[in-house]
Structure 1
């Protein structure tokens, strides 16, 4: 005799359609996730690459500071009736160049306000300012013409002021400490400078400022030695490095050098200072005679890792009290006129 269980009502089975809907929904979610990841990887859609992942020079033209020393010299020459000089200096002033930040001219407590004004003006013009941070302790330990800088304790707060102000811009670029790493080899200051610059990198990256570490130039420290220092400082965390800053090596020499340095640092991008290398002076770096303006600033898309040519050191400003020049950073009218005429 059958048991009572055989006569219990059977529970209705769930329709298979519900299970199918669940599978379809899960599949759709996976496809959406893959699409999101693909969009990020391809840099399409609403996802924008960060400040270190893109070439900002391809997005906007560079900024020419209306208050530069060349612009001031042009105004003074015009007021004095020196028409030819005024035109030459105005031509220099019209070309975008680096805006140098030193603690002597823009000390702690003031540099942030100055940078905020610069980046606001650049944003309004739809352009990219190039800020050159130049205040590391014992700054010019090899040449001495630009001696100075902050002590180690004051350095990072000063950089943080710069980073905070520059980070408020839509786009801004910092070239960090010309000559600092290459000179550290000669001055035996590797440990101190690696520590300070790596902290400065962290501050600038956190603020969202596109950053290039200084990478010396083709006639100085061997590439492998400099590449190791760049890696220690954190070149993989920033956009890349800058070469030929305030120097006169030719574009061909610098691109070859920089491509090698890029390979040694995992493919880092770079910029080249072409302000005064129209002739090239591989040995003399301090106001060498007979020079000419180099290639005008502009972004590059040629299959190399070169982002742009820049005039990081403003042409017309002295390298130091050598070859008849005034103190470093001062506008030198005679040399400025010669560069414009030759270049």
Structure 2
């Protein structure tokens, strides 16, 4: 899985946020059309991002077309989502896609676009659905049945190849015994824990963490690895076969094996509950912009149906077994899936298919419905990282998409316990020597090449900002955030020890930042990285935990093409000789050489991660 900078129509500042609504009623040949259109837009100098809600107040519709006219001839649609967009002069047309064309009486669907403007950017007001002006009076209900459209995302600006974390499919080696000790990812409880199996606000609080025997064994076999071999890391289910026999490389245990072992470790822990983390990672067209972590299921080959019946249903069935009811089972839901819909639809055919079919949204909603229904299972949806979604043109649409996806589940926004950032990535948890508000000789650090007008410089500020936006959008105040700190320590001799005194903004940032990557978009097996903060509960307000989701030492992708039977391709971003592309500023990839395919053990990387750990290993 990878992660690169995804930046679209980004500007120095958001100048205005506005909304307008139009509602109307009339009669067409086949149905009484009555509609309400809400237009919410943010704008900056020369650019805009609009989200449009179409609500059907009349008879059920089997298809729809939205039209409107820009008031100013300089206003243009650049990239749209959740509809087929076209523009002729100032006239804009959006037609329904297969998955959102049916609108029952009272139902809504959300679409949107990014655009440009010249002299001014007034809001359109003459919205029509199927040729009827939306000015709005609901019709008396009429008997036509119709399905309510599945709520859906709103991908948005920005190109860029997103790729993502993770191990990937593979055969499993023979199983071996596992360690018993489980290191706690959390602080000690100050009071007696709630009854076993209770669904608590923070599943990490007062709990010990499950030690994955497969990973622990690999770590212990490395010189010096025993220092961290009992740290809690996640179990990745990156293919259907992994449910029964483990994922890539040295991982041989299936889900039931891990849960049985977790019960054993829990019994040895005394009264403290035990938290086990499981990564749900097998959507059809998975990692649609990646090469090194493509998945086994394809949308065109009945992938969504297989994902539901052969993958999610099986996982949920195992987790629901009563013998596991005392465990706290944390699920990390589909890394890099929904963020790809925000930034990569225009550049990758597989992402276009994921959007137009609704497979990503429907798959995530199905997973949330099944997993949330199990009382002791917790759901954390992947939210990429600050160097992917930190620009306003990506951040706002992502918040909207998360709300739409959650609202379309049985339990609504309550189906999500939280979100996770930096999964399998390398972005620093906190930049200690500068913030987004730092200035140098009158210039904001946002103007530096490294920050590149982003609104965030590290993961903790991004996680808190995202949480605040999500709560404002309707998620509960109990929403928790996780940060994957497994490989973002950036210690060692290259780590700065103080704030730069340079008066040049680029030099200041480069001398002050602890994230030592060549470019913030580099994501594969990064040279110089180190293990970060050890797992810990409630490290800051709004954060449920620092966690190790990507097991340190497992490769992100091969340094050169390697034949394999796991469906894993070769991504040049994993090649240390690659000179880059426009998405990483045409910089070197920064990857370590000699890497195996994703999910397989990479000893050289593991040794470097220990060497550069911050805080240092003892």
Which TM-score band applies after superposition, normalised by the shorter structure?
0.7 to 0.9
**Which residues of 2 match residues 1-343 of structure 1 at below 5 A?**
51=199, 53-68=200-215, 71-72=217-218, 74-75=220-221, 86-103=222-239, 105-106=241-242, 114-126=254-266, 127-150=274-297, 151-157=303-309, 158-168=311-321, 169=324, 170=326, 171-185=328-342, 186=344, 187-188=351-352, 189-190=354-355, 191-208=358-375, 209-221=377-389, 222-234=394-406, 235-252=413-430, 253-266=458-471, 267=477, 268-279=479-490, 280=515, 281=517, 282-300=520-538, 302=540, 304-321=541-558, 322=574, 323=591, 324=593, 325-343=595-613
Shift in CA distance, 245/144, structure 1 to aligned 2, threshold 3 Å: same
Q: Return the alpha-carbon distance in structure 2 between the equivalents of residues 289 and 262 of structure 1.
A: 31
Give distance in 1, aligned partners of 2:320 and 2:388. Answer: 32
**Structure with the higher fraction of residues in strand conformation:** 2
Distance 2:539 2:286 in 1: 34
The runs of 5 or more residues in structure 2 that have no matched partner are 1-191, 248-252, 267-273, 298-302, 345-350, 407-412, 431-457, 472-476, 491-514, 559-573, 575-590, 614-618
Question: Shift of residue 327 of structure 1?
Answer: 0.7
Structure 1 length-normalised TM: 0.76
Please report how far the alpha carbon of residue 164 of structure 1 lies from its aligned counterpart in structure 2 after TM superposition.
2.4
| Aligned 8 A contact 2:379 2:415 in 1 | no
Other-structure match for 2:616: none
Which runs of no fewer than 5 residues in structure 1 stay unpaired?
1-43, 76-85
> Is the Cα contact below 8 Å between 2:484 and 2:548 reproduced in 1?
yes
Whole-angstrom CA distance in 1 between matches of 2:523 and 2:194: 46
Shift of 1:314: 0.5
Give the C-alpha shift of residue 340 in structure 1.
0.8
Give the Cα–Cα distance (whole angstroms) in 1 for the partners of residues 488 and 422 of structure 2: 9
Using the size of structure 2 for normalisation, the TM-score is 0.44
Mapped partners of 1:149, 1:298: distance in 2: 34
In structure 1, C-alpha distance between the alignment counterparts of 2:198 and 2:405, rounded to whole Å:
20
C-alpha distance after superposition, 1:174-196 (max 9, x if no partner): 10111111122313434321111
Corresponding position of 2:117:
none
Q: SS where residue 56 of structure 1 aligns? A: coil
Q: Which has the higher helix share?
A: 1
Note closer, same or farther for the CA distance 1:46–1:192 as it changes in structure 2 (3 Å cut): closer
Which contiguous aligned blocks of 4+ residues in structure 1 show a shift greater than 6 angstroms?
Answer: 44-49, 108-111
Q: Give the conservation status (yes or no) of the 8 Å contact 1:224–1:261.
A: no
Other structure's SS at 2:307 match: helix
Structure 1 CA distance for aligned equivalents of residues 228 and 245 of structure 2: 31
Is the contact made by 2:205 and 2:537 (CA closer than 8 Å) also made in structure 1? yes
Going from structure 1 to structure 2, the CA distance change for 1:110 and 1:92 (only over 3 Å counts) comes to closer
- Contact kept in structure 2, 1:100 and 1:134, CA below 8 Å: yes
Query: C-alpha deviations, 1:167-214, integer Å up to 9, x for none?
Result: 332221110111111122313434321111011100001123111011
Q: 1:103 to 1:49 in 2, by over 3 A?
A: closer
* Residues 265 and 125 of structure 1: CA distance in aligned 2, closer, same or farther (over 3 Å): same
In 2, are the aligned partners of 1:236 and 1:265 still within 8 Å (CA)?
A: no
